[in-house]
Amino acid sequence: MSQRLTNLQNKILSWEEAQRRRNIWAVKGETVAFTNGCFDILHLGHVSYLAQAADTAKHLIVALNTDLSVKALEKAPNRPINSEMARAMVLAALSCVDNIVFFEQNTPLEIIETLRPDILLKGADYNAEQTNPLAKDYIVGSDIVRAYGGRVQTIPFVEGYSTTGILAKGN
Contacts of 146 (CB under 8 A, 6+ apart): 152
C-beta separation of 92 from 100 below 8 A: yes
Could you give the number of structural domains in the chain? Answer: 1
- DSSP letter, residue 135: S
Q: Residue 9 sits in a domain of what CATH number?
A: 3.40.50.620
What is the rounded CA–CA span in Å between residue 89 and residue 98? 12
| pTM, full prediction | 0.93
What is the rounded CA–CA span in Å between residue 123 and residue 119? 13
- For the stretch 52-99, pLDDT in tens is 999 999 999 999 999 999 988 877 778 899 999 999 999 999 999 999
What is the rounded CA–CA span in Å between residue 19 and residue 116? 9
Q: How many CB atoms lie within 10 A of CB 106?
A: 12
Domain range enclosing 57: 3-169
- Arithmetic mean of pLDDT over the chain: 93
- For the stretch 102-126, pLDDT in tens is 999 999 999 999 999 999 999 999 9
User: E strands along the chain, which residues?
Assistant: 12-13, 32-37, 59-65, 99-103, 119-123, 151-155
